[in-house]
A and B are shown apart, each in its own frame.
Chain A
Amino acid sequence: MEKVSFFDEIEKNKRNSVLLASSIFLVLMLLVYTMSLAIIPEFSIFIIAFSVVFVLIYIYSTYNYGDKIVLRATGAKEVKEDDRRCVHLFNAVDGLSIAAGIPRPKVYVIESEEMNAFATGKGPEHASIAVTTGLIKNLKRDELEGVIGHELSHIANYDIRFATLIAVMVGLIAILSNFLIRGMRFRTRGDEEERKIGFLILIGLILAIIAPIMVRLVQFAISRKREFLADASSAKLTRYPDGLASALEKIMKVNRGKMEVSEAVSHLFFVDPNKSPLDKLYATHPPIKERIKILRAM
């Protein structure tokens, strides 16, 4: 019984990562194809050949360097073990990685008064964990351990591989569809050809509008379920769900939801870094109150 559910979760995450990468590839190819037909049909073959290579390289480098991109984008700086400010942080990360049976991830710190954290990387062997200075400053040991346990279980379950892939893909698709919609305006063509390719352009337009929304929907649906699961795994690691619960309570009081991070990476974080007034449906994270309630009941 014990590891089986996590085992399944890991397999699912690995499979989803492959599915995501290949469907992104297909959507991108469709986008590029319609784009080339709309703008310069004479060279569409070359454009497609070129973009196949480009997209393959893009997916490969996302897979390998996605974590670096995300860490850079959030302004995280790596800290070493001898840093006196982070003694407790390292103790928590060390101890809990042992408890989770994974190698210790690299540790990064983000200068921010907000309390937040995230994990990224390919898998347990290549993982990084980042926490804000506000988090280190405001939390007691068992609270910090609760948060770190949450992030470490994202690592151990391969959530990070999938989530990091999504983060970088969201960015690319947004750029491309934007480009496509703009490109439409510069088209000059005869009526007959217009009709021939009009259908394709329509598809392209629909894709350009729908693709980003689809990716965001996937981002929302999966990340909320993951947060609950990671909370539960954290409790399993620390054997003290109240630590995480009181960390969440503090965060609810302190955070003003004004961390300057891109929307594309917001689903990676421990709590939503940009608290939006929008409704529940559009949130990448389950409401903190609900998380606390579940943890207190454990």
Chain B
Amino acid sequence: MWWIVPLVILAVLVLVSVYYVNRITMLSNRIDNAWSQIDVQLKKRFDLVPNLVETVKGYMKHEKDAIKSVTEARERMMGTSDLKSRMRAEGELTRALKTILALSENYPNLKANENFRLLQEQLEGIENRVAYARQFYNDSVLGFNNMITTVPGNWFAGLTGRNRPREYFEIEESEREPVKVEF
């Protein structure tokens, strides 16, 4: 009966590693899902931009630069593929849109435009959702990184081939500053 002890130990080991491997995989999948949540919201915002530019153009004749920077930021987004440059382009678009919305305060006619009001409301809703999606993404990354860097998760991380900590979605330095607008 001596063989029963190692057998039990082996069974426990197998069960424990199955649990951790599944858990690590699940946490990693959650990050991917979180990223796609951000993506959905960014896509919505991306689609709103041409509409906004069309509406704003007629009213804000003197703000060519601000409008141009929105269009440019949007174009730059189309060309990016990796996470880093994508984040930077998103930051630029966020900032350019904020500038436009801040400038619109100067144009009472524009602010009275029903279409613009709707767009503004939608944009604010999307910005809010982007912020929450980013929070969920970073929470997911935190959960995953904690798992694979602490005992005993780090022993099993190698088994899944996911032993590298994932990157956080950081806010660009320039995005933290308040928008400067000259009147």
Does A87 make an interface contact (CB < 8 A)? yes
Number of interface residues of B (CB under 8 A): 20
Bound Cα distance A100, B140 (Å): 10
B51 at the interface (CB under 8 A from A): no
Give Cα A99–Cα B143 distance, bound, in whole angstroms. 14
Are B131 and A95 closer than 8 Å at their CB atoms? yes
Residues of A within 8 A of B121 (CB): 87
Interface status of A101 (Cβ within 8 A of chain B)? yes
A98 in contact with B136 given A1-B146, A2-B142, A2-B143 (CB within 8 Å): yes
Contact flag A99-B125 (CB < 8 Å), given A1-B146, A2-B143, A2-B146: no
Decide yes or no whether A187 CB sits under 8 A from chain B.
no
A99 near B146 (CB under 8 angstroms)?
no
Nearest A residue to B144 via CB reads A2
Rounded to whole angstroms, the CA-CA distance of A69 and B121 in the bound complex is: 35
Q: Judging by beta carbons under 8 Å apart, are A3 and B143 in contact?
A: yes
Cα(A125)–Cα(B69), bound, Å: 41
- Report A52-108 residues with CB < 8 Å from chain B CB: 87, 90-91, 94-96, 98-101
Note all chain B residues with C-beta closer than 8 A to A253. none
The reply on B106 being an interface residue by CB < 8 A is: no
Name the distance in Å between B123's Cβ and chain A's nearest Cβ: 12
Main secondary structure on B side of the interface with A: helix
User: Shortest Cβ distance from A3 into chain B, in angstroms?
Assistant: 5
Inside 8 A of B33's CB, which chain A residues have their CB?
101
Which residues of chain A are within 8 angstroms of B131 by Cβ–Cβ distance?
A: 95
Query: Which residues of chain B are within 8 angstroms of A94 by Cβ–Cβ distance?
Result: 125, 129
Do A100 and B125 touch across chains, with their CB atoms under 8 A apart? no
A189 within 8 A of B: no
Residue of A nearest to B150 (CB): A1
A95 B34 Cβ-Cβ under 8 A: no
Chain A interface, number of residues (Cβ within 8 angstroms): 14
Tell whether, in the assembled complex, residue A98 and residue B37 are in contact, meaning their CB atoms are under 8 Å apart: yes
Complex alpha-carbon distance, A95 and B125, angstroms: 8
A91 adjacent to B146 (CB under 8 Å): no
Shortest Cβ gap from B77 to chain A (Å):
20
Instruction: Report the minimal beta-carbon distance from B37 to chain A, rounded to whole angstroms.
Output: 5
B132 CB within 8 Å of chain A: yes
Is B143 a contact of A100 with CB atoms below 8 Å?
no
Q: Which of A1, A99, A100, A239 has the most CB of B within 10 A?
A: A99
Using Cβ atoms and an 8 Å threshold, which residues of chain A touch B30?
101
Q: Is the CB of A96 within 8 A of B140?
A: no
Measured CB to CB, the closest approach of chain B to A133, in angstroms, equals 21
For B121, give the chain A residue with the smallest CB separation.
A87
| Closest chain B CB from A141 CB (angstroms) | 9
With A101-B30, A101-B33, A101-B34 already in contact, the answer to whether A91 and B128 are too (CB < 8 A) is: yes
Compute how far the CA of A95 lies from the CA of B128 in the bound complex, rounded to whole angstroms.
7
8 pairs, A vs B, C-beta closer than 8 Å: A2-B139, A2-B146, A3-B143, A87-B121, A95-B125, A96-B132, A98-B37, A99-B135
Closest 3 CB pairs of A and B: A99-B132, A95-B132, A2-B143
